[in-house]
């Protein structure tokens, strides 16, 4: 961070003449270790350092991004930004006066109890080798791998109005996969935190316990080979948090993004079935549906102190007791739309501008006691399916007609879990699906997860997004299995 | 960064190697302008200048990889590169031998320059906005130079530079009803842009008609090249890489095993000879001009990158396991006869958000999107509200395939996740006797 402060100080001393400017400096360090079939794959050490200069002048806005952080490099980026601001002033969608100004001073660091450097490389490789041995249960396991990845993002945002926001985000991303095959049937199962990334350090390994989890992963992959296909028809559905993540992401998070509602994403990521007049009155789901934008959850992927427009991040209800309250939109989108929003203008790196993104979008657990445990949710199902771990996702450009597939399913009959079913999937319509929510796990069942590949924007940007959720029960959903 | 600056940097690094050390250096450089449009006005505009250096240090049978951004200043870049090399030297004693280490030991050189200088982006965007006056246009302008370089301590020296523009946009009638178009290439022609805008205006006239809502079921359909591209993208996702085949994860498992076939008219190739991608792999191997993946409906070859080649004892024929310059052979339906041959059914301009529904059976789900119409008696009748399909490619490219168009469309990827993509597809449209709509 010291290096970024030095560069920022140098830039500020020669700041461009304009109505407002921001300098966003981003340094990234990452490391990826992987062992596949007992063979250590080439380890990778990646680093990145660059800056984005944004200027507002004469009613226009422009940006220039560069990996050349010398005074001349930043000057060249500034001139590019000024050139685009001039063109934007003539042909822009809105006046630069709407662009938010920030004088916020804030700092944030991810909670890390045990740093990445705290475990020697040889020990990390040994852990992955142990997990590999545990994954390879028999000859039906035809491929297997374990990995461990670390990423640190250090970002400094300074503004012409004295804003200075420093954030250091540490992520640990371990995982396991086992691939089982019999004839023309192949099944994959993930574990070890593969779909459970968080901010934090190596302390997460104790909880995830890769070696112990490897046996389960391998056993379930093999068992799925012989399992019957998930039945087709309408049944009750229990989604574990490992699938709730995608359900929230695609059919609540994306449709509530204000830039979609404003039309910015219509050529790529799509629009939204949600329209401005719905906020405050629209019944999005049953009374059990409570969804928050919450940047304060320790360890969740998108926790932080402010967004990339310099707006302080605070917890807000998006949906309360089923009623839609506010969209996901940063201050620029709020000014363009006249709607309230959240601090969620984020960029994927130094080379991309901030746009409306999900942060941590969480489905709040039920108050209990009726819905306290997963067993109690299952007990309320006469004929249904439980689904675990997303493997396929697809939804229309208005975020309404969705279809998801999961790695593993289990039948539920008369309130009890029965056998495994393979290739489980379900489909529905967002505007109807959440109204069928009839059970929400209690606080003890909530899991803090997220996704690391949320893509949108032109130019394209992929960011980490947090989702915390308990298991949930939905009534009368169209489910199906595999086959042509 | 210029090729001279890159090779000077790598010569300095190579000169510092000791003992059994070997080094492969790669470079990815981008000078891009991006202009985002909404309601036919500029939403967000800017420029990105970035260069990334990749190093693979080899010592005996061990290897380790690293990358960093470069500044463009020779002294600073040499210092960063030396620091990165130092980190790899610290690391390499602690990694075991890699049995699948595989780098070209036969040095060769290449220097490819593709495309003219793109137009001034400020002027091009202003021209677009003027031509599209009155349209609710939304999309992205991307242009500039992309360069990739490779140099090794063995003597490989490669440079591939392309200059291009890619205008990817759609025009909305109302709600989610829109017509999509692209104008991408190496040589700018304002008249070509004007022609596309006029075509969009004509398409919007039909979009303004009351839309049809279809019930789930099987419908006769024509899939335009952009829609076919979404399906071939799915095949590219694990369908052709050797590792996926050997570990039985490919969605073409039943095709490989002979349980299923595609129609004999379906032949799919990787065509590096198109020249939009580098002819060298990151390990210094030469990519063949053409690799036939599906030949006459049957599995032919896989794409084999250097690591998989060593693991499975096959020759290298690709930089990676996914096609980057895919081509589907054309057929015998002239574009002019598409609607007549369809007669009554669904004209699908684009598909969207495809994913595997069941990879074991090559079953894909996704949505219809832009420019999808109901056709009766060979005439476009009305736009169709978005529908979800869920069907196997063994049907769509197999038993239900009635034909492919003679003309093919070169689709330059507008993707910009890891910088501006240089991927492309050369595709016909396809006529199918049925596609299963599920929702």
Chain B residue numbers with beta carbons less than 8 Å from the beta carbon of A425 are 357-358
**How large is the ipTM?**
0.96
With a pLDDT cut of 70, the percent of chain A lying above it is 99
- CA–CA dist B132, B155 (Å, integer): 51
Please judge whether A395 and B353 are an interchain contact, meaning their C-beta atoms are less than 8 angstroms apart.
yes
The CATH number corresponding to B3-207 among 3.40.720.10, 3.30.2290.10, 3.40.190.170, 3.30.2010.10 equals 3.30.2290.10
Using the predicted structure, report yes or no on whether residue A404 has a pLDDT greater than 80: yes
* Helical spans, DSSP H, in B208-342: 225-236, 242-246, 253-256, 306-312, 338-342
Interface mutation vs chain B, best among A75, A95, A153, A351, most B CBs within 10 Å: A351
B300 touches chain A (CB under 8 A): no
Average pLDDT over residues B390-419: 97
Nearest residue of A to residue B354, measured between CA atoms: A394
Using the predicted structure, report yes or no on whether residue B141 has a pLDDT greater than 90: yes
pLDDT, tens digit, 9 for 90 and up, residues B24-50: 999 999 999 999 999 999 999 999 999
pLDDT of residue A154: 98
Q: How confident is the model at residue A370 (pLDDT cuts 50, 70, 90)?
A: low
Nearest residue of A to residue B391, measured between CA atoms: A484
Q: How far is the CA of A109 from the CAs of A106, A199, A201, A313, B19, in angstroms?
A: 11, 10, 12, 14, 43
- CA–CA dist A126, A112 (Å, integer): 22
φ and ψ at residue A208, rounded to 5 degrees: -75, -30
Using the predicted structure, report yes or no on whether residue A371 has a pLDDT greater than 70: no
pLDDT of residue B15: 96
Please judge whether A80 and B46 are an interchain contact, meaning their C-beta atoms are less than 8 angstroms apart.
yes
A346 touches A299 (CB < 8 A): no
pLDDT of residue B116: 86
Average pLDDT over residues B322-339: 98
Other beta carbons within 10 angstroms of residue B213's beta carbon come to 9
Full DSSP string of B69-88 = EE-S-HHHHHHHHHHHHHHH
- CA–CA dist B106, A268 (Å, integer): 43
Chain B residue numbers with beta carbons less than 8 Å from the beta carbon of A429 are 439
Chain A residue numbers with beta carbons less than 8 Å from the beta carbon of B358 are 405, 423, 425, 481-484
pLDDT of residue A273: 96
A389's tokens = 């771990």
pLDDT of residue A484: 86
B199 touches chain A (CB under 8 A): no
Residues of chain A with CATH 3.30.2290.10: 2-226
Please judge whether A395 and B367 are an interchain contact, meaning their C-beta atoms are less than 8 angstroms apart.
yes
Question: Strands A355-356, A345-346: parallel, antiparallel or unpaired by DSSP?
Answer: antiparallel
pTM score, two decimals? 0.96
Using the predicted structure, report yes or no on whether residue A88 has a pLDDT greater than 60: yes
What average pLDDT does chain A have?
97
pLDDT of residue B55: 98
- CA–CA dist A23, A158 (Å, integer): 5
- CA–CA dist B434, B223 (Å, integer): 11
Average pLDDT over residues A423-439: 96
pLDDT of residue B113: 94
pLDDT, tens digit, 9 for 90 and up, residues A26-66: 999 999 999 999 999 999 999 999 999 999 999 999 999 99
Chain B residue numbers with beta carbons less than 8 Å from the beta carbon of A154 are none
Using the predicted structure, report yes or no on whether residue A232 has a pLDDT greater than 80: yes
The CATH superfamily assigned to A2-226 is PmbA/TldD superfamily (3.30.2290.10)
Q: Any idea where the domains of chain B sit in the sequence? A: 3-207, 217-437
What average pLDDT does chain B have?
96
Chain A residue numbers with beta carbons less than 8 Å from the beta carbon of B390 are 403
Q: How far is the CA of B268 from the CAs of B263, B264, B272, B326, B401, in angstroms?
A: 12, 11, 13, 7, 15
Please judge whether A184 and B257 are an interchain contact, meaning their C-beta atoms are less than 8 angstroms apart.
yes
pLDDT of residue B235: 97
Of A105, A12, A85, A9, residue with least CA distance to A353? A85
B38 touches chain A (CB under 8 A): yes
B102 touches B283 (CB < 8 A): yes
Average pLDDT over residues A367-389: 89
φ and ψ at residue B108, rounded to 5 degrees: -150, 170
Average pLDDT over residues B257-282: 96
Average pLDDT over residues A224-228: 98
- CA–CA dist A448, A196 (Å, integer): 8
pLDDT, tens digit, 9 for 90 and up, residues B75-125: 999 999 999 999 999 999 999 999 999 999 999 999 999 998 899 999 999
- CA–CA dist A162, A180 (Å, integer): 57
Helix-then-strand count for chain B, H and E: 10, 22
B71: Cβ contacts below 8 Å, ≥ 6 apart: A67, A68, A69, A70, A73, B51, B77, B80
pLDDT of residue B318: 97
pLDDT of residue A1: 85
Who wins on pLDDT, A371 or A78?
Answer: A78
A247 touches A215 (CB < 8 A): no
- CA–CA dist B156, B153 (Å, integer): 7
pLDDT of residue A431: 85
Q: How many CB pairs under 8 A join A and B?
A: 274
Residues 333-372 of B with CB under 8 A from A: 352-361, 363, 365-367, 369
Interface mutation vs chain A, best among B35, B69, B101, most A CBs within 10 Å: B69
Average pLDDT over residues A425-434: 95
- CA–CA dist A303, A228 (Å, integer): 41
* Alpha carbon B257 to its chain's center: 28
φ and ψ at residue A210, rounded to 5 degrees: -55, -45
Of A212, A202, A149, residue with least CA distance to A452? A149
A54 touches A159 (CB < 8 A): no
pLDDT, tens digit, 9 for 90 and up, residues A239-293: 999 999 999 999 999 999 999 999 999 999 999 999 999 999 999 999 999 999 9
Greatest Cα pair distance, chain B, in angstroms, is: 75
pLDDT of residue B178: 95
Please judge whether A80 and B47 are an interchain contact, meaning their C-beta atoms are less than 8 angstroms apart.
yes
A425 touches A406 (CB < 8 A): yes
Label residues A295-307 b or e (16+ Cβ within 10 Å = b).
bebebbbbbbbbb
Please judge whether A39 and B176 are an interchain contact, meaning their C-beta atoms are less than 8 angstroms apart.
no
Of A150, A139, A147, residue with least CA distance to A114? A150
Nearest residue of B to residue A45, measured between CA atoms: B66
């Amino acid at each position: 961070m010291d290096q970024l402060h030095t560069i920022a100080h140098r830039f500020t001393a020669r700041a461009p003449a304009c109505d407002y400017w921001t300098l966003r400096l981003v340094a990234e360090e990452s490391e990826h270790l992987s062992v596949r079939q007992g063979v250590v794959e080439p380890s990778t050490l990646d680093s990145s350092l660059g800056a984005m200069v944004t200027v507002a002048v004469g009613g226009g806005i422009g940006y220039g991004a560069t990996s050349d952080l010398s005074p001349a490099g930043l000057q060249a980026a500034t001139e590019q930004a000024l050139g685009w601001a001039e063109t934007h002033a003539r042909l822009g969608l809105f006046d630069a006066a709407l662009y938010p100004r920030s004088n916020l001073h804030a700092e944030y660091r991810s909670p890390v109890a045990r740093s990445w450097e705290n475990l020697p490389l040889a020990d990390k490789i040994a852990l992955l080798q142990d997990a590999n041995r545990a994954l390879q249960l028999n000859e039906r396991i035809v491929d297997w791998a374990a990995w461990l990845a670390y990423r640190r993002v250090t970002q400094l945002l300074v503004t012409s109005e004295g804003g200075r926001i420093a954030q250091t985000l540490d992520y640990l991303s371990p995982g396991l996969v086992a691939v089982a095959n019999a004839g023309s049937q192949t099944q994959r199962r993930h574990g070890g935190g593969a779909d459970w990334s968080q901010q934090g350090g190596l302390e997460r390994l104790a909880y995830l316990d890769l070696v112990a989890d490897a046996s389960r992963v391998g056993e379930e992959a093999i068992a799925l080979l012989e399992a019957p296909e998930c039945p087709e028809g309408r049944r009750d559905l229990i989604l574990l948090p490992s699938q709730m993540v995608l359900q929230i992401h695609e059919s609540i998070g994306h449709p509530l993004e204000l830039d979609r509602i404003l039309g910015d994403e219509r050529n790529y990521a799509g629009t939204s079935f949600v329209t401005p007049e719905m906020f405050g009155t629209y019944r999005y789901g049953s009374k059990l549906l409570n969804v928050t934008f919450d940047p304060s959850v320790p360890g969740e992927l998108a926790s932080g102190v402010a967004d990339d427009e310099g707006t302080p991040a605070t917890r807000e209800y998006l949906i309360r007791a089923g009623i839609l309250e506010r969209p996901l939109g940063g201050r620029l989108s709020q000014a363009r739309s006249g709607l309230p929003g959240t601090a969620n203008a984020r960029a994927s790196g130094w080379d991309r501008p901030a746009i409306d993104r999900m942060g941590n979008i969480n489905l709040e657990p039920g108050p209990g006691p009726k819905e306290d445990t997963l067993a109690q949710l299952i007990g309320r199902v006469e004929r249904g399916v439980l689904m675990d771990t997303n493997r396929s996702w697809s939804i229309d450009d208005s975020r309404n007609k969705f279809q998801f597939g999961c790695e593993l399913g289990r039948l539920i009959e008369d309130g009890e879990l029965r056998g495994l079913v393979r290739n489980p999937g379900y489909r529905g319509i967002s505007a109807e699906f959440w109204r069928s929510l009839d059970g929400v796990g209690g606080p003890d069942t909530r899991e803090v997860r997220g996704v690391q590949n949320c893509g949108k924007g032109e130019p394209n940007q992929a960011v980490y997004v947090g989702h915390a959720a308990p298991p949930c029960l939905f009534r009368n959903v169209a489910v199906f299995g595999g086959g042509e | 960064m210029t090729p001279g600056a890159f090779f000077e940097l790598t010569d300095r690094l190579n000169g510092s190697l000791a003992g059994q050390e070997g080094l492969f250096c790669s470079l990815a450089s981008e000078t891009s302008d991006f202009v985002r449009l909404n309601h036919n006005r500029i939403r967000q505009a800017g420029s990105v200048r970035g260069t990334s250096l990749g190093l693979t240090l080899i010592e005996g049978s061990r290897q380790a990889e690293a990358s960093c951004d470069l500044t463009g200043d020779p002294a600073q870049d040499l210092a960063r590169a030396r620091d990165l090399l130092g980190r790899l030297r610290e690391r390499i004693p602690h990694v075991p031998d890699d049995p699948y280490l595989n780098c070209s030991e036969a040095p060769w050189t290449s220097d490819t320059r593709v495309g003219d200088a793109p137009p001034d982006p400020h002027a091009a965007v202003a021209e677009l906005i003027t031509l599209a006056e009155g349209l609710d246009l939304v999309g992205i302008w991307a242009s500039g130079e992309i360069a990739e370089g490779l140099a090794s301590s063995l003597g490989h020296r490669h440079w591939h530079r392309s200059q291009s523009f890619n205008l990817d946009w759609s025009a909305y009638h109302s709600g989610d009803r829109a017509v999509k178009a692209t104008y991408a290439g190496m040589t700018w022609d304002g008249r070509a842009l004007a022609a596309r805008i006029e075509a969009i205006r004509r398409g919007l006239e039909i979009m303004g008609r009351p839309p049809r809502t279809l019930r789930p079921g099987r419908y006769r359909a024509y899939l335009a090249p952009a829609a076919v591209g979404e399906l071939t993208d799915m095949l590219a996702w694990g369908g052709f890489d050797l590792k996926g085949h050997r570990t039985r994860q490919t969605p073409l498992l039943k095709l490989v095993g002979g349980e299923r076939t595609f129609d004999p008219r379906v032949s799919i190739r990787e065509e590096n000879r198109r020249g939009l991608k580098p002819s060298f792999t990151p390990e210094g191997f030469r990519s063949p001009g053409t690799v036939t993946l599906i030949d006459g409906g049957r599995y032919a070859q896989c794409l084999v990158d250097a690591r998989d080649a060593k693991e499975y004892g096959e020759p290298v024929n690709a930089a990676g396991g996914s096609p980057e310059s895919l081509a589907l052979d054309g057929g015998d339906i002239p574009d002019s006869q598409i609607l007549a041959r369809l007669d009554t059914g669904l004209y699908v301009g684009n598909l969207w958000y495809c994913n595997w529904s069941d990879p074991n059976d090559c079953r894909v789900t996704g949505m219809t999107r832009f420019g999808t119409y109901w056709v009766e008696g060979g005439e476009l009748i009305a736009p169709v509200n978005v529908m979800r399909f869920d069907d196997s490619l063994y049907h769509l490219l197999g038993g239900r395939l009635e034909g492919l168009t003679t003309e093919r469309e070169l689709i330059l990827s507008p993707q910009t996740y890891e910088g501006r993509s240089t991927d492309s597809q050369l595709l016909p449209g396809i006529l199918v006797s049925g596609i299963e709509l599920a929702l």
